[in-house]
Amino acid sequence: MQKNLLIDNTLSSELEQLRALDPDLTDQLLGIITRYTPNPRNSAWTSVRRFVLECVIFMKPRTVPTTRRLLSMTALYAMWVWTVSGTALEPARVFRDTFVRRYLAEAMATRSEIYRYDLNRQLSTIAEALALERIPRLRTPSQSPRVQPFTADELATLISWANTLSTPLKRQNARALLGLAGGAGLTALEFMAVQVEDVQFDNGRAFVTVNGSASRRVPVRAMWVKTLSLSIGTRTSGDVFRAYRLEEYPPNQLQRFLSDNPCTPRPSAARFHASWVITQIDAGLPLQILLDIAGFSSAQSLQPYLKYAKAHGIDDYIARITGEMVA
């Protein structure tokens, strides 16, 4: 049976009406829901607001991250559906497979494969719970690394992009991406976890402590030290990249930042990571050092990057191979 989102209008206030939909909802979460305003906001929000709030409450969120995630994804989707179709605000009409597929293909075309996969999964869950609509899930994104490195000209463009964004916070966040992903080869997940306290400057050099399953201390490449320093400024604590984190996928806000502040080429933690790994391969580091600073567990992890590394001829290394010259 389809969920009925109609509330009892005999109750005296919106707050009471919404609370009645889920009496176990905490005051904190109800406050987050009722005060929510989407970013970006458009004229459709006034029309869809009540529908969105009721949908979120019927999903029975119990944590702050889950509540915010449901709000942002449902609000942006509902505003898009209302704008393009003007359909009745009923779950069975809004959460339809045709709308979800169009939304992902049109409105979310510039978002990452992982973000669209995650969004599809969330909207499918809502559709099944509220409208008994079965929405096909996208295929799990490929986990193989995107290893096309940036060229020197592309890096110059990205530096200019970071230095010319419109606000100090945007410039700070863009420089953080360049300094940590470009300078220390951090992945998107590692990048989003870095705190100011994890970065140390010492005699013109910088070092980043990476926590987690691949914990390590990485020296930052010299060309990115100043960029990283400008990003941190006088701060002594807190996230290096300043943005809200979704519990399920912290890099979500990084992807949104990059979509809201476009550049050609598109800044990408994956491509910065690839460029960094390839640079280290070209530097001829001992294998164990390379694996340690990259956070790789085996030499097999280097395989996708090798085709982009510098080509070498055996004649240049015969003396080392034969032992006539020590490396």
Contact between 278 and 149 (Cβ < 8 Å): yes
Task: Say if 188 falls within a structural domain.
Answer: yes
Number of neighbours of residue 192 by Cβ within 10 angstroms: 23
Q: Do 165 and 251 share a domain, yes or no?
A: yes
Q: Do 172 and 277 share a domain, yes or no?
A: yes
| Three-state secondary structure call for residue 200 | strand
pLDDT for position 66: 85
pLDDT for position 242: 94
Residue 12: band (very low, low, confident or very high) from pLDDT cuts 50, 70, 90: low
154 pLDDT more than 90: yes
Number of neighbours of residue 312 by Cβ within 10 angstroms: 10
Q: Do 205 and 114 share a domain, yes or no?
A: no
Number of neighbours of residue 16 by Cβ within 10 angstroms: 12
Distance of CA 50 to the CA centre of its chain: 28
**63-87 residue pLDDT tens:** 888 899 899 999 999 999 999 999 9
How many Cα atoms sit within 13 Å of 262 on the Cβ side?
A: 4
The model's pTM: 0.59
Q: Do 116 and 204 share a domain, yes or no?
A: no
Task: Say if 179 falls within a structural domain.
Answer: yes
Q: Do 203 and 245 share a domain, yes or no?
A: yes
What whole-number distance in Å separates Cα of residue 200 and Cα of residue 202?
7
Q: Do 125 and 183 share a domain, yes or no?
A: no
Final residue of a domain: which of 81, 99, 130? Answer: 130
pLDDT for position 192: 93
Domain count, the chain: 2
Q: Which amino acid is at 48?
A: V
Final residue of a domain: which of 66, 98, 130? Answer: 130
**14-32 residue pLDDT tens:** 888 898 999 999 999 999 9
Q: Do 182 and 242 share a domain, yes or no?
A: yes
Q: Do 121 and 203 share a domain, yes or no?
A: no
13 pLDDT more than 90: no
1 pLDDT more than 50: no
Task: Say if 3 falls within a structural domain.
Answer: no
Residue 94 sits in which domain range? 14-130
Q: Please list, in sequence order, all residues whose beta carbon lies within 8 angstroms of the beta carbon of residue 182, skipping any fewer than 6 positions away.
A: 155, 158, 221, 224, 227, 272, 275, 276
Identify each DSSP E strand in 5-152 by its residue range.
none
What whole-number distance in Å separates Cα of residue 72 and Cα of residue 64?
12
Mean pLDDT confidence for 166-195: 96
Mean pLDDT estimate for the chain:
88
Q: Please list, in sequence order, all residues whose beta carbon lies within 8 angstroms of the beta carbon of residue 110, skipping any fewer than 6 positions away.
A: 259, 262
Number of neighbours of residue 298 by Cβ within 10 angstroms: 8
Tokens (6 digits) for 107: 């409105």
Q: Do 163 and 102 share a domain, yes or no?
A: no
Q: What is the CATH number of the domain that holds 253?
A: 1.10.443.10
What whole-number distance in Å separates Cα of residue 9 and Cα of residue 17?
7
pLDDT for position 234: 96
Whether omega before 267 lies within 30 degrees of 0, making that bond cis, reads no
**181-221 residue pLDDT tens:** 999 999 998 999 999 999 999 999 999 999 877 899 999 99
Contact between 91 and 56 (Cβ < 8 Å): no
**233-266 residue pLDDT tens:** 999 999 999 988 765 567 878 988 998 999 999 9
**86-139 residue pLDDT tens:** 999 999 999 998 999 999 989 888 887 778 888 888 898 899 888 787 777 676
Residue 316: band (very low, low, confident or very high) from pLDDT cuts 50, 70, 90: confident
